[in-house]
């Protein structure tokens, strides 16, 4: 015990402890990095080394200007490390990325890349860190035997209708931003939007909405999209306020026009 106590007071004991601490910290970081890469490679769709390599080339040629090499981010674009394949598949697949111009939010437009190139870009970004994966076909099947459309409607009204409108027609937000209408949006892109929270949308992780919940919401959206407007012109499905305003304005205009016509006839 006396010899051990003397060794603890050795002048180089602090240096040895510092070196051991650095080695332990470095080892834990390397282990965490390896686990993170493994999780990114095994979550959702698995990508080949060739897909990742081709995706990196596409990224460097088209995306690195804003997002930086290795996707670490710049003043013009955020880091993409950890956003996952689903985020890239949504943003690139809907044409929102690459952005056409700076603005309050990225606009939907014809996609610049084909499906294969989009998958390669997704593979590269997914290899940088774990994140939401492209959804499996099981959770995009709105005809699945376990689909509950009524529950999907309830979930949509509670979580989404305040921005997207109860009829999913979209709506205005602040500072020139908006929640887009959800008609003619593919099942995959709706799911990815819920999982990644693009633009001003919050992220609905599996802890908030399970994959089955997301499938129910998609089924509800596709149901109301397929249903016609029984009352005639939907007027944007904005509700009784817009409909009342239209009736008031149109009706008042008709009355004024009729009065002008009567006055001209009497004179």
**CATH numbers and ranges of domains, the chain:** 49-128 (1.10.760.10), 137-233 (1.10.760.10)
Q: Where do we find the tokens 């009706």?
A: 251
Cross-strand pairs, 77: 74
Q: How confident is the model at residue 68 (pLDDT cuts 50, 70, 90)?
A: very high
What pLDDT is stored for residue 245 in this prediction? 78
Annotated binding site: 63, 66-67, 160, 163-164
Q: What's the rounded Cα separation, in Å, for the pair 38 and 198?
A: 25
Q: Percent of the chain having pLDDT more than 90? A: 58
* pTM score of the predicted model: 0.73
pLDDT over threshold 70, residue 173: yes
Annotated binding site for heme c: 63, 66-67, 160, 163-164
pLDDT over threshold 70, residue 31: no
- Whether 218 and 187 have beta carbons less than 8 Å apart is answered as yes
Mean per-residue pLDDT over the chain, rounded: 85
Strands (E) in the chain, as ranges, are 171-172, 178-179
Cross-strand pairs, 74: 77
Tally DSSP H helices, then E strands, for the chain: 11, 2
* Mean pLDDT for the stretch of residues 72-99: 94
Residue 195: both structure tokens together:
């999982």
Burial 106-140 (b: 16+ CB within 10 A, else e): beeeeeebeeebbbbbbbbbbbbbbbbbbbeeebb
- Whether 66 and 91 have beta carbons less than 8 Å apart is answered as no
What pLDDT is stored for residue 140 in this prediction? 96
- Whether 100 and 66 have beta carbons less than 8 Å apart is answered as no
Query: 3-class DSSP state for residue 220?
Result: helix
Q: What's the rounded Cα separation, in Å, for the pair 210 and 135?
A: 12
Q: What's the rounded Cα separation, in Å, for the pair 98 and 106?
A: 9
Q: Tell me: the pLDDT tens digits for 94-103?
A: 999 998 888 8
Nearest-10 crossing angle of helices 115-128, 84-93: 150
Cross-strand pairs, 171: 179
Q: What's the rounded Cα separation, in Å, for the pair 231 and 61?
A: 51
């Amino acid at each position: 015990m006396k010899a051990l106590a003397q060794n603890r007071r050795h002048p180089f004991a602090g240096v040895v402890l510092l070196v051991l601490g650095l080695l332990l910290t470095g080892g834990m970081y390397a282990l965490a990095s390896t686990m993170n890469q493994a999780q990114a490679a095994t979550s959702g769709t698995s990508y080949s080394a060739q897909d990742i390599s081709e995706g990196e080339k596409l990224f460097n040629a088209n995306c690195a200007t804003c997002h930086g090499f290795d996707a670490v981010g710049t003043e013009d674009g955020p880091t993409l490390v950890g956003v996952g394949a689903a985020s890239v598949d949504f943003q690139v697949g809907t044409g929102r990325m690459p952005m056409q111009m700076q603005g309050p939010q990225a606009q939907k437009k014809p996609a610049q890349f084909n499906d294969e190139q989009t998958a390669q870009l997704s593979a590269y970004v997914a290899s940088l860190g774990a994140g939401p994966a492209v959804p499996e076909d099981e959770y995009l099947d709105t005809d699945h035997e376990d689909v509950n459309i009524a529950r999907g409607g309830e979930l949509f009204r509670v979580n989404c209708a305040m921005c997207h409108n109860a009829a999913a027609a979209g709506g205005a937000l602040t500072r020139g931003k908006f929640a887009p209408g959800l008609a003619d949006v593919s099942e995959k892109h709706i799911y990815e939007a819920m999982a990644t929270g693009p633009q001003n949308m919050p992220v609905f992780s599996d802890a908030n909405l399970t994959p089955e919940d997301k499938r129910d919401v998609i089924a509800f959206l596709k149901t109301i999209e397929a249903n016609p407007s029984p009352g005639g012109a939907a007027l944007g499905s904005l509700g009784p306020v817009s409909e009342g305003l239209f009736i008031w304005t149109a009706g008042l205009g008709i009355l004024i026009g009729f009065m002008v016509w009567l006055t001209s006839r009497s004179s």
